Amino acid sequence: MDLTFTGRGISITDDVRETAQHKLQRLARMEPRATRVDLEFINEHHPKVDGLKRVEASLRTPRKDFFAHAEARDVPSALDDVAHKLERQLRDHHGKKRSRLHRGLESAHLSPGATDDTE
């Protein structure tokens, strides 16, 4: 999984890169088909409260893209919030795939053409 970093009004240090790689490696385990994660770090020009940092992320997979954003006073906590949001989206997506699969199997067993007459 490739990580792409973009900074707007903030410099991306090696410490931020290492923190992002550490916090987002769980996503690679949850979705092995993930090809790329784009991270954008934004320093708010007109913050509502004490110089907020905003992190926006997009996780790219072959069939679906997942997006999340978070604001916090420092970059690591905003990055942590973004990672949790992406994990939740992946869990929900995997749950939907499973329920569709189970629903399809149940309907195949209950369909009139699938009855087994052994008389």
pLDDT digits (tens, 9 = 90+) for 72-96: 989 999 999 999 999 999 999 888 7
Q: What residues does each domain of the chain span?
A: 2-106
Whether 68 and 57 have beta carbons less than 8 Å apart is answered as yes
Closest CA to 1 of 86, 60, 66, 85: 60
pLDDT digits (tens, 9 = 90+) for 35-86: 999 999 998 877 666 678 999 999 999 989 999 999 998 999 999 999 999 9
Structure tokens at 66: 């997942």
Q: At what angle do helices 14-30 and 75-110 cross, to 10 degrees?
A: 10
CATH code of the region 2-106: 3.30.160.100
pLDDT digits (tens, 9 = 90+) for 102-111: 666 665 555 5
- pLDDT for residue 58: 96
